[in-house]
Amino acid sequence: MKPKMKYYLLINLMILITNCKNEMNTIPYDNQLKKIKFDDIIFHDIALTEIPEPFYKDYSHHKSATARNYKSYDTMEFKNIILEKLSDYLRTKVLKLLIITPKNQESSYDAFAYLSEKKIVGIRLENTSNFRLWMNIIFEKQYKKLEEYKNDGQFEQQPELNPNPQFMLVLGKGQFSQKWVNSGMLIDERPYENTGSYLHKNAPQQYNETKIAKEKKNYIKKYIDTTGYGTIDEVRLKELFNEFIKIKQLKPTPPVSNTPFYKEFETLAGFSFPKELQVLLNTYNGIENIGFLSARQIFDEWKNWKEIYDSVDWMLIDLTGNNHPDGRKTIGIYTTPYWIPFMSMGDGNFIAIDYAPGSKGKSGQIIAFGADENKIRWIAENMEDFLQKLIKGTDVLRNGF
Would you say residue 396 has pLDDT above 80? no
- On whether residue 14 sits in a domain, the answer given is no
Would you say residue 200 has pLDDT above 90? yes
Would you say residue 401 has pLDDT above 50? no
In the prediction, which pLDDT does 8 show?
41
Its domain, for residue 58, covers 23-207
- Give the model confidence (pLDDT) of 335-346 as tens digits: 999 999 999 998
The residue from 207, 229, 256 where one domain ends is 207
Same domain assignment for residues 229 and 182: no
Same domain assignment for residues 196 and 229: no
Q: Report the percent of the chain where pLDDT is more than 70.
A: 92
The residue from 192, 207, 222 where one domain ends is 207
How many domains does one find in the chain? Answer: 2
- On whether residue 343 sits in a domain, the answer given is yes
Same domain assignment for residues 117 and 47: yes
Same domain assignment for residues 199 and 54: yes
- On whether residue 17 sits in a domain, the answer given is no
- On whether residue 331 sits in a domain, the answer given is yes
- On whether residue 9 sits in a domain, the answer given is no
Mean pLDDT, range 296-319, rounded to an integer? 93
- Give the model confidence (pLDDT) of 43-66 as tens digits: 999 998 889 999 998 878 776 777
The angle formed by the CA atoms of residues 260, 264 and 338, to the nearest 5 degrees, is 130
Same domain assignment for residues 243 and 374: yes
Record the pTM. Answer: 0.65
Same domain assignment for residues 202 and 225: no
SS3 of the chain: the string is: CCHHHHHHHHHHHHHHHHHHHHCCCEEECCHHHHHCCHHHCCEEEECCCCCCCCCECCCCCCCCHHHHCCCCECHHHHHHHHHHHHHHHHCCCEEEEEEECCCCCCCCEEEEEEECCCEEEEEEECCCHHHHHHHHHHCHHHHHHHHHHHHCCHHHHCCCCCCCCEEEEEEECCEEEEEEECCCCCCCECCCCCHHHHHHHCCCHHHCHHHHHHHHHHHHCCCCCCCCCCCCCHHHHHHHHHHHHHHHCCCCCCCCCCHHHHHHHHHHHCCCCCHHHHHHHCCCCCEHHHCECCHHHHHHHHHHHHHHHHCCCCCHHHHHCCCECCCCCCCCCCCCCCEEEEEEEECCEEEEEECCCCCCCCCCEEEEEECCCCECEEEECCHHHHHHHHHHCCCHHHCCC
- On whether residue 6 sits in a domain, the answer given is no
pLDDT grade for 394, boundaries at 50, 70 and 90 = low
- On whether residue 183 sits in a domain, the answer given is yes
Same domain assignment for residues 101 and 148: yes
Task: Find which of 56-60, 104-108, 372-376 is predicted with most confidence, using mean pLDDT.
Answer: 372-376
Q: Under a CB-based contact definition with an 8 Å cutoff, are residues 380 and 366 in contact? A: yes
CATH number of the domain enclosing 273:
3.40.1580.10
Same domain assignment for residues 227 and 136: no
In the prediction, which pLDDT does 186 show?
82
Q: Please enumerate in sequence order all residues whose Cβ is within 8 A of that of 364, keeping only pairs 6 or more positions apart, or say none.
A: 227, 228, 229, 230, 274, 276, 353, 354, 355, 382, 383
Same domain assignment for residues 202 and 235: no
- On whether residue 89 sits in a domain, the answer given is yes
In the prediction, which pLDDT does 351 show?
96
Instruction: Give the residue, 14 or 276, on which the prediction is more confident.
Output: 276
Same domain assignment for residues 125 and 172: yes
The residue from 207, 228, 258 where one domain ends is 207
Same domain assignment for residues 223 and 335: yes
Same domain assignment for residues 345 and 217: yes
